[in-house]
Amino acid sequence: MTTRILLVEDEADVRETLVAALDIVGIHVTSAVDADGALEVLDAESEEEPFDLVVSDVQLPGMDGIDLAGEIHARQPALPILLLTAYDAGPILERSLAAGVYSIVSKPTSPETLARTIERARRRPCVLVVDDQESCASTMAACLEQAGMHAITTTSGPGALALLDETEIDVCVVDLVMPGMDGVETWRHARSLHPDLAVVGITGHDVSTLVSGLREMGAVECLRKPVLPITLVRTIAKARRALDS
């Protein structure tokens, strides 16, 4: 089935290039030049042919892409949204996530990279938090949900592997020190089954060997407990941006 997206881009040359390039890889693009036009298109979309995703530039005439994302999220909370920006994403990260944005893509980007990100976001993946202390896992998941990221939890390595087989997950936040299967072993098994999975390690212990082992296997970051909510959110956003870079 063809992926259908709404592209919101006011620069004609960029818009036309992306429409043509994405069409080649089987992504059907409907375009708009500003937020008002995008909302009109979404209001007119049919139930038979709904959009799978919205891609919008941040800098738009009138309402910017982040406010547009917020409007779309309020109307269709399940519709994934990607933002494009030629500037540092850091200053707009929190505001973008709160507006329901899945990820921010840096401009310029290749059509192939954008297509991979579109297909990943279309599947609506969530973040998996693995911590043997249920209260810690629940607190981190609540922080992520508040920041606009869907998160699920488990308290063990085997539980994580089971969820990875059942649920679309793109980032795993895993405690390094757990009874039975520790974080590194969990990651090793998970990565063998799901090679595209990104991992963020967390620990409240001095376990330099485990930290080194996780980093050698490609962990995005290893964070020390207690983890500040904004640090966790920024790290997961970094992991998502790195998945298709």
Q: Would you state the pLDDT for residue 215? A: 72
Q: Would you state the pLDDT for residue 245? A: 64
Q: Would you state the pLDDT for residue 211? A: 66
Q: Would you state the pLDDT for residue 169? A: 96
Mean pLDDT by 10 residues, the chain (245 residues): 92 93 93 97 85 96 96 92 92 89 90 90 94 96 90 97 96 93 90 90 78 70 88 90 76
Q: Which domains does the chain have, with CATH numbers?
A: 3-122 (3.40.50.2300), 126-243 (3.40.50.2300)
Q: Would you state the pLDDT for residue 191? A: 87
Q: Are 55 and 82 in contact (CB under 8 A)?
A: yes
Q: Would you state the pLDDT for residue 68? A: 97
Q: Would you state the pLDDT for residue 136? A: 95
Q: Would you state the pLDDT for residue 224? A: 87
**Residue 107 CB: number of other CB atoms within 10 A?**
15
Q: Output the 3-class SS for the chain.
A: CCEEEEEECCCHHHHHHHHHHHHHCCEEEEEECCHHHHHHHHHHCCCCCCCCEEEEECCCCCCCHHHHHHHHHHHCCCCCEEEEECCCCHHHHHHHHHCCCCEEEECCCCHHHHHHHHHHHHCCCEEEEECCCHHHHHHHHHHHHHCCCCEEEECCHHHHHHHHHHCCEEEEEEECCCCCCCHHHHHHHHHHHCCCCEEEEEECCCCHHHHHHHHHCCCCEEEECCCCHHHHHHHHHHHHHHHCC
Q: Would you state the pLDDT for residue 184? A: 87
Q: Would you state the pLDDT for residue 242? A: 83
